[in-house]
Amino acid sequence: MPITPATATHSSSNGTVDAILLELVDENGVTIGTAEKLAAHQPPGRLHRAFSVFLFDEHGRLLLQQRALGKYHSPGVWSNTCCGHPYPGEAPFAAAARRTYEELGVSPSLLAEAGTVRYNHPDPASGLVEQEYNHLFVGLVQSPLRPDPEEVGATAFVSPAELAERHAKDTFSAWFMTVLDAARPAVRELTDTSAGW
C-alpha cells in the first residue's frame, strides 16, 4: 500500500501526531477554511467537502464495502464503494481516486463526476454528524480487489435486488441512501438499462 498523508504516521517536532484537516465550505461548496477531522464531525457538525465513489463491475453490479471494525466513525456498517474527504486544496476527483486505491487496492478503469449533494446526517451510534457537501463519482472496476483490512472489513458486488435485500437486514451508513439516490442518474448512464439502477 502506498504511503500517503492518510496512511503515514506524522509526528511534529514535539512528538504529537499531526491533525488531519478537512476543507470547510459554504452552502455553495466554496472553501471558507479548514477544521480538524474529528472536530468537524462533532455535533452540530461543520459543513465540509467530501466525496463518494460508486464502482460497478462488467455485470452492472455495485461494489459495496463494509467499513472495518476499527474505524472511529461508523465501524462495521456497509456503505458505497469508497467515501472520504479531500485534503485542503486537493481536487475531489484526485482524492476519490487516491482513497479508492488506498482502501481497496484498485484503480478504477473509468471514473466520472456525478454531481454533488449536500446533507446533514447524525450518526446515532457514534454521536458524530455528517454535515457534508459531497462530490459524487461513478466508475468501473475491472481488476481484482486488494482491500486494506484496517479500512475495509468486507466487500460485495450487488445487483439492485440484492442491495434491497441486504439493506433490509444489514446496517448501512447514515449517508448511503442519500448519496446513492443523488448519483442514480449518472449510475443509469454508466450501467446498461438491464442492470436496473
- Strand stretches in 70-123, DSSP E: 78-79, 82-84, 110-122
SS3 category, 146: coil
Point out the catalytic residue in the list 23, 103, 132, 151. Answer: 132
**Is 83 annotated as catalytic?**
yes
Cell numbers placing 43: 455535533
d(CA 51, CA 179): 9
CB 111, CB 135: distance < 8 Å: no
Closest CA to 99 of 5, 196, 197: 5
Specify the DSSP class assigned to residue 11: B
Point out the catalytic residue in the list 23, 83, 103, 151. Answer: 83
CA atoms within 13 A of residue 17's CA, in its CB half-sphere: 9
List, in order, residues 6 or more apart from 104 with CB less than 8 Å away. 63, 65, 81, 82, 141, 145, 146, 147, 148, 152, 155
Alpha-carbon distances, residue 107 vs 51, 74, 82, 144 (angstroms): 16, 24, 12, 10
Instruction: Report the length, in residues, of the chain.
Output: 197
Catalytic residues: 83, 132
